[in-house]
Amino acid sequence: MNSLLKITDLHVSVDDKPILKGVNLEVRQGEIHALMGPNGSGKSTLAYALAGHPKYEIIGGTIEIDGTPLNDLDACARARMGMFLAFQYPVTIPGVRVADFLRHAVTNMRSPDRKEGEGLIPMREFRQELRAYMSELGMDTEFARRYLNDGFSGGEKKRMEIIQMAMLKPKFAILDETDSGLDSDAVRVVSEGVNKLSGPEMGVLIITHHERLLEFNRPQFTHVMLAGRIVETGDASLAHELHANGYASIRERHPVESQEHEELVTTV
């Protein structure tokens, strides 16, 4: 059965400031959705709120996977339900080696009922799998021994996010500007990587300003966000049109949200 991520009338505040004002969205396993919109429209807020960042407070509406509400679950529980966020700015954890961290995370995901002190997944098996994905994403296997994101370039960090996604095999992956700040070669590698990983087992929500990622991962649905709401939904051609012509026509079609957006962005 295909799993369903269902977001209903979602309202989210950060530091008591409302950012999302009633988002409705359904993503099924196997689907690719693009989420677009000008800076400050609430795309990253939606990503963090879905993943369960404690600063992003849900003040109304629901997030559900197959009918199970996620609102009150912490980030760990949501991850174990199949949620994954590829960060726009991956966090550095000094002293923690990529392989150690990932082996722990993978074990937790694959045996969520594991008791304290029970073994991690076998080293050999884990290492083989990690190496395969690293070479696919063009990462030197030496990175497995490095401290997590410590001293990584922008492109290396983004590739590491996709490697984590590959290892953790989520039901729903949110890619928050995974293609930003990368040169065109790196965008291609990441795009191909996502393409190989997406399939019937994974629903993908791609947040992006660029077209390359969507060329490799053609969305069935494109959503446009403005002032904390999804104001339009179309197919891949909508994404193409926005790339070509910008958001001017969207603003014209949605003057109220456009006005709200201007106020929000200028007060920041």
Partner 1 sequence: MSADAPVKSDPDIGEYQYGFHDSTDFYAFKSRKGLDEAIVRQISAMKKEPEWMTEFRLKSLELFFSRPMPAWGSNLNTIDFQDIYYYMKASDRQEKSWDDVPEEVRRTYDRLGIPEAEKKYLAGVKAQYESEVVYGSLKEDLAKQGVLFTDTDSAMRDHPDLFREHFATVIPPADNKFAALNSAVWSGGSFIYVPKGVHIEFPLQAYFRINSQNMGQFERTLIIVDEGASVHYVEGCTAPTYSSESLHSAVVEIIVKRGARCRYTTIQNWANNVYNLVTKRAMAYGDSLMEWVDGNLGSRITMKYPAIYLMEPGARGETLSIAFANHGQHQDAGAKMVHCAPNTSSRIISKSISKGGGRASYRGLVKIQKGAENCKSNVVCDALILDSHSRSDTYPYIEVEEDNVTIEHEASVSKIAEEQLFYLMSRGLTEEEASAMIVTGFIEPLVKELPMEYAVEMNRLIELQMEGSVG
Positions touching partner 1 (CB under 8 A) are 51-55, 74-76, 78-80, 83-85, 87, 90-91, 93-96, 101-102, 104-105, 108-109, 112, 147, 164, 168
Q: Name which of 52 and 193 has its Cβ closer to partner 1.
A: 52
Least distance from C-beta 80 to partner 1, angstroms?
5
DSSP result, 214-231:
HHHS--SEEEEEETTEEE
Nearest to 1 by CA among 42, 29, 38, 26: 29
Q: Name which of 100 and 241 has its Cβ closer to partner 1.
A: 100
Least distance from C-beta 242 to partner 1, angstroms?
29
Least distance from C-beta 110 to partner 1, angstroms?
9
Measured over the CA atoms of residue 86, residue 87, residue 90 and residue 95, the dihedral's sign is: negative
Least distance from C-beta 244 to partner 1, angstroms?
34
E strand residue ranges, the chain: 4-14, 17-28, 32-36, 56-65, 68-69, 83-86, 93-97, 147-148, 172-176, 203-207, 221-226, 229-234
Q: Name which of 150 and 185 has its Cβ closer to partner 1.
A: 150
* Residue 148: exposure state from Cβ atoms within 10 A (0-12, 13-18, ≥19): buried
Kindly state the tokens that stand for 183.
Answer: 């040169």
Q: Name which of 17 and 114 has its Cβ closer to partner 1.
A: 114
Q: Name which of 59 and 76 has its Cβ closer to partner 1.
A: 76
Least distance from C-beta 247 to partner 1, angstroms?
30
Helix (H) or strand (E) holding 202: none
